[in-house]
Structures are given as structure tokens and as C-alpha cells.
Amino acid sequence: MKKLHILTLAFIINSVVVLGQNERVKGAIIPDFGETFKVENPEIKTNTNSTLKVIFDVSKSPENETQINNYLVTAARFLNMHANIGMKPNQLKVAITVHGAAWKDILNDSVYMEKYNSKNPNSALLNQLNTAGVDIIMCGQTAAFREVKKTDVNPNVKFALSAMTALLQYQNNDYKFIKF
């Protein structure tokens, strides 16, 4: 019986340790979005002396218009996880192209309210991403097709001829492409 208690106690302690490793960490750059997890002793070490340049391509959107677009949150997670391991904000260069179904996620609150009877759940995230220096880029082709004017979107959004053009130009400037 004593052996069973010891084994049970060992299992509980191990479970607490494992659960503790899954604790979410608030971000140092985007504090309200993009929580991450601490990873102990990864075999693939992050070069914290380098500059990381990435462009995320976001074309999907949640079906429920009151939900935040988690593909946009990915940019916040990228910034936060690297800042949380000691990288400086000026080492992290991030851009996001928005097209396809994600066009609605960058609308300003008043236009979003007209269309979906709700404030845009992404507005605070877009503002914090902008404050962190993230380029948020609207595909001009999607905007024209959807009849979206510059005054319809969050004021932090920039327009490009197309998402394809922006992706190519950023990649020509050493940004690495990540599709979501």
C-alpha cells in the first residue's frame, strides 16, 4: 500500500511539472495577443543575435464574424516568442499580406459594424501590431474586387497593387514567406 502511495505521489508531482510547462506566457511586444509557451532546452537553438524578417500571408478568416482571426494573431505570437527569449524589437521585422476571405478582418469598426452588426474583433490587434512596426498590407486586387476603399479599412493598413506583388517585393528584401 505504501508503494502505491509513493507511485501516486510521484505521478502527481510529474503531472504538475508537465502542466507547468504548458503555462502560457504573455508577450513582451504585443501584450494583449499572441501568448506563447516557454520551451525548455530546444535542440534547434534560436540565434538571438540575428535579425528575423518574415512576411505572413493571410487569406483565411473565421466563419463567425465576432471571432478574432487567429492567422493575424500568429504575427503577434512570432514577435512575442522571440522577444520573450531575449531578442530586441528592432531584430524582428514583420509584415502581413491580407487577401482572400481575410479582407473583412482589416475593416475599420464603423464599416465592420455596418456589415456584421459588431465591432471588428481584430481592431485592437491591428493597432498593437502597427505600434510594434508590423506592415499590414491589403491586396489591392482583393480590395477592388470587394469594393473596399482605403477609408473602409483600419488606418494602419497599407495597400499594395496585389498580395502577390507585396509578397515578391518583401521576399526580394530578404523577408521569409510564411503562409497561413
Kindly give the confidence (pLDDT) of every residue in the chain, 180 residues in length, as a single tens digit, with 9 standing for 90 and above. 555 445 444 444 444 444 455 788 898 999 999 999 999 999 999 999 999 999 999 999 999 999 999 999 999 999 999 999 999 999 999 999 999 999 999 999 999 999 999 999 999 999 999 999 999 999 999 999 999 999 999 999 999 999 999 999 999 999 999 986
Alpha helices in 52-122 (DSSP H): 70-83, 109-116
Residue 134 has, within 13 A of its CA and on its CB side, a CA count of: 31
User: What are the extents of the domains in the chain?
Assistant: 25-37+51-179
Q: How many Å apart are CA 23 and CA 13, to the nearest integer? A: 16
Q: State the DSSP code for 153.
A: B
CA terminus-to-terminus distance, the chain: 53
As a CATH number, domain 25-37+51-179 is: 3.40.1260.10
